Amino acid sequence: MNWQRRRRLVAVGYVGVAAVFILAPLLVVAAVAFTSANFVSFPPTGWSLRWINKVLADDNFMRALANSVLLGFSAALFAALLATPAALALARGGFRGAAELESFLLSPLSLPALILAIALLFYLARLGLAGSFAGLLIGHAIIVLPYMLRTVLAVYRGIDPSLEEAALVLGATPRRAFLHVTLPLIRPGIVAGALLAFLVSFDEVAVALLLSSSSSMTLPVAILNHVTHNYDPAVAAISLVKIVLVVAVLGILELWFGLDRIMLTREAR
Amino acid sequence: MAASIARDRWQPSAALAGPASLFLIGFFVGPLLLGVGVSLGVRHTSASATNLGIALYVRILTDIYYLEVMLATLLLALAVTAATLVVGYPLALAVSRARGATRTFLLFLIVAPLLVNVVVRSFGWMVVFGRSGLVNAALGLVGLPMIDILHSWLAVGIALVHVLLPFMVLSIASTLEGIDMTYEEAAATLGARPWRQFLHVVLPMSLHGAVTGCLLVFALCMGSFVTVMMMGDNRTMVLSLLVYQQLTVVSDWPFAAALGMVLLAMVMAIFWLQARIVRALAP
Amino acid sequence: MKGALELQGVVKRFGQFVAVDGVSLDVRPGSLVALLGPSGCGKTTLLRCIAGLAMVDAGAIVIDGQDVTALPPWDRSLGMVFQNYALFPHLSVARNVAFGLRMRGISGAETRERVGNALRLVQMEEFAERRPRQLSGGQQQRVALARALVVEPPVLLLDEPLSALDAKLRLAMRQELRELQRRLGITTIVVTHDQAEAMAMADEVAVMRRGRIEQMAAPETVYRNPSTAYVAEFVGRTNRFDGVVDAKGRLVVAGLAAPLGLAIATRLPPGQATIAMVRPEQVFLDAADELADDENGVAGVVTDNVFAGDHVEVHVETGSGRIVAKRATPMAKGDTVVARWRCADTLAWPS
């Protein structure tokens, strides 16, 4: 067996083991969701859809799911509106301090969400927004903005500047060049960034935990509440619903745009 | 007209970044400053305030309990970072080399858990490690006695590695993408076997990505409390969880804010360290 | 280590596409062979097969009597310079050059000495502590060369070594490379798409097309006696005539009043469809219309003069198309001339 074959085998072996580690909790949750018993155990003693039905009929869970979806879309939209022009300025602006501004706009990424959550809690409480949907939206927009910005920036930097310059020479004003040339080219990137932003918001716990009220609760918070009070398969069932949703969105992202273009964005210098 | 002469090509105005910047200043920087203020007792509004101002910080830094919690938090973060680095590097290598369907599968594998929510994943690990869970079921099959790993530092650590692995892998993989294969080929023709190619060429050139990954994982680990809350118990206390408890259970906002600022200070210190390391590494 | 390289029926496929189609060649120790051809002809793939970076699907690669076909690249001990030089950016020049020695467990004084010698060989000793990114293209190339040579390999492989340099530097480096190679007497394979470069540097040129070697011979042979029309057109400019051989062994070309006489050595049967060519420098233009027995002549009108520094290309429109001749001085446009050349200079092949 030549050295290329051997290297391939080692790689496959390692990835296999890693895959088991990565997927184990998820598969376990999926299995427990279908259990017929009243308690959580693995492997499940019997199979049934009762927990899934129960969860889909539960008002609390469904309302939290609706909140999460609405919040995700809103945060993504808001972030898109802020991030797209900013990306434009950062990628082509060439002004002094552009690199620092970029670091600043991306900084929420490096901050533990809990700290942001506390800070926002005090701040929004003062504004009377704590526990409201608007407060959650603001918090998630902050968290999601850097993801959106990074994606759109990467896409925009990948576009040849001479395309825009050609449009200008052909008679387009900067605004029209943007509308007719740039925007169509970066639109897939914006959509991908928005989908990514949605997923990040959908998944977010710390800010949601501190800024939710019982009416504006998001799904992760609802699940957490349920788990701390009753450790039963309902949690697995609702988790499965969430997993299916996320996998579906990821699938769309991959088909439309390609996962590697979003996830493996090279750091631009 | 002076402004337009200063630029030598048509460029969009910096003002386009205005809305985003203002938003961040208003709702990111502002709240953080306020947080510092609250911790120092500036016009707090909570019900049960213990002490105020600098006294809070003194209390945190002199009480042995809090120091132990800080140490435990630090050690946990270091251990998890090291584990994700060791486990994640080969995965990142595999992803960056793969093409086509394999690549998509690997990316999916790495990314999907990341976006399936920390609560769900922690719950999954609870089921895996719990008394009637996967591990014990497997042990039972082989005839070994049951173990209770749940509620231990080990379980918390493993779950955190699982949660944070994607960040490490993506960070390293992004850097690896930028490394031209010809460097490894050149090393090969000079006599380096694959392992040595990695050690002498790929590793040094991807160190930047590894450092970024380590910092990201470290920061995220310091701030994660949901996993610890779900998988651990009172023995496994970390700083972020303490903050959360002070805020929601005890409702001591100033103290929670003070603890939060200490946490933030620890994270900032590590970032400062990173900047120094990166500067030292840069050729 | 003599440096005898032999390829026996090497085949390399990428899926359905056959990049190298059964190539055999024998390289004399100490000689420089250029693999010449357009992009996609398989020359770089062939080089990578020799280096071990691509595993062959069939055939054998033998170096100094040892079959290395199954060996991975790090066990073949060859020297290779990549098109982009591939100098390790995180190492200094000296450490780059020392890399191969380090892999072989050589260190200390011996390494220092050998690295010093290698750098002196390429005149880069002063740059020993610099980083690759501080060097110009030409300097990087020299360091890459030193790095490949320091381990004293039996065979040196160069992948388009001059393509990244600008025109003047290219000419200078071409000469330097050749002299260095001769001085060291090391067997060298150079991949290039530039025919002038190949002709100037090589002891033997292998013209490749679609994974096969069309002709391998000394540069002068390849230029004056190309074995196919493809080779003739690739290694220099030509004037081409397509036609059919008549009963007397001459070429009948559409649009020409008289058939062309071919070289005596060309034995093509009557009725054979043929491609004939003559090089511009062998074509003379004048007004006279008396032809000697061993000459071909085609009448035409001068349409253009292209100035090329040390000569002028004169374009003549004839009944069968355009003929280009190389002259020292231009001719007046619109003049009627006769393009003449010796029959013996006419190259011809069956088409």
User: Taking residues A179-208, what's their average pLDDT?
Assistant: 85
Confidence label for B1 from pLDDT (cuts 50, 70 and 90): very low
| Bridge pairing between strands C336-342 and C295-307 | antiparallel
CA dihedral A153, A158, A159, A161 (to 10 degrees): 90
Chains interfacing with B (3 or more CB pairs < 8 Å)? A, C
Could you say which of B95, B134, B248 has the minimum Cβ distance to residue A42? B134
User: Residue holding tokens 């530092």?
Assistant: B153
Could you say which of B12, B117, B247 has the minimum Cβ distance to residue A89? B12
C70 contact A CB<8A = yes
Q: Can you give the pLDDT at residue B50? A: 47
The pLDDT of residue B263 is above 50: yes
Rounded Cα–Cα distance for residues C54 and C51 (Å): 8
Contact partners, residue B193, CB within 8 Å, separation at least 6: C72, C74
User: Residue holding tokens 């994660």?
Assistant: B224
Rounded Cα–Cα distance for residues C23 and C11 (Å): 7
Q: Can you give the pLDDT at residue C189? A: 97
C341 forms beta bridges with C296
> Read out DSSP for B113-131?
HHTS-HHHHHHHHHHHHST
User: Taking residues B234-262, what's their average pLDDT?
Assistant: 83
Could you say which of B188, B192, B205 has the minimum Cβ distance to residue C89? B205
Please state, rounded to an integer, the average pLDDT across all residues of chain B.
Answer: 81
Confidence label for B10 from pLDDT (cuts 50, 70 and 90): low
Q: Can you give the pLDDT at residue A261? A: 62
At residue C213, φ and ψ (nearest 5 deg) are: -90, 120
CB contact under 8 A, B13 and A93: yes
The pLDDT of residue B146 is above 80: no
Could you say which of B189, B205, B283 has the minimum Cβ distance to residue C51? B189
pTM over 0.90: no
Could you say which of A42, A119, A205 has the minimum Cβ distance to residue B118? A205
User: Residue holding tokens 């080219």?
Assistant: A185
C contacts of A3 (beta carbons < 8 Å) = 72
Rounded Cα–Cα distance for residues B4 and B187 (Å): 49
Q: Can you give the pLDDT at residue C279? A: 94
Q: Measure in Å the smallest separation between the Cα of A8 and chain C Cα atoms.
A: 15
The pLDDT of residue A165 is above 70: yes
The pLDDT of residue B238 is above 70: yes
Q: Rounded to whole angstroms, what are the CA distances from B87 to A232, A268, C250?
A: 32, 27, 77
Pick from B76, B70, B71: nearest CA to B57 = B70
Q: Mean pLDDT lowest for which of A12-16, A77-81, B120-124, C19-23?
A: B120-124
What percentage of chain B reaches a pLDDT higher than 70?
Answer: 88
Confidence label for A49 from pLDDT (cuts 50, 70 and 90): confident
DSSP state of A107: G
Q: Can you give the pLDDT at residue C20? A: 94
Q: ipTM value of the model?
A: 0.77
Instruction: Give the pLDDT confidence of C185-197 residue by residue, as tens digits.
Output: 999 999 999 999 9
The pLDDT of residue B45 is above 60: no
The pLDDT of residue B206 is above 60: yes
CB contact under 8 A, C70 and A2: yes
| Bridge pairing between strands C5-14 and C251-253 | unpaired
Angle at A5 between CA A3 and CA A8, to 5 degrees: 110
Q: Can you give the pLDDT at residue B84? A: 94
Cis peptide leading into residue B12 (ω within 30°):
no
Share of chain A residues as helix, strand and coil, in percent rounded to the nearest 5: 80, 0, 20
Pick from B265, B42, B119, C1: nearest CA to A243 = B119
C-beta separation of B110 from B213 below 8 A: no
Contact partners, residue A129, CB within 8 Å, separation at least 6: A135, A138
CB contact under 8 A, A89 and B17: yes
Rounded Cα–Cα distance for residues B11 and C251 (Å): 65
Q: Measure in Å the smallest separation between the Cα of C86 and chain B Cα atoms.
A: 5
Most confident stretch, A88-102, B223-237, C210-224, C237-251:
C210-224
- Other CB atoms within 10 Å distance of the CB of residue C244: 16
Contact partners, residue B217, CB within 8 Å, separation at least 6: B80, B81, B84, B85, B164, B167, B168
Q: Rounded to whole angstroms, what are the CA distances from A148 to A204, A262, B169?
A: 15, 10, 20
What percentage of chain B reaches a pLDDT higher than 90?
Answer: 8
B contacts of A236 (beta carbons < 8 Å) = 123, 127
Q: Can you give the pLDDT at residue B250? A: 80
At residue C244, φ and ψ (nearest 5 deg) are: -125, 140
Sites in chain C below the pLDDT cut of 50:
none
Query: Considering only CB atoms, which residues of chain B are within 8 Å of chain C?
Result: 180, 182-183, 185-193, 196, 200-201, 204-205, 283
B contacts of A110 (beta carbons < 8 Å) = 215-216, 219, 267, 271
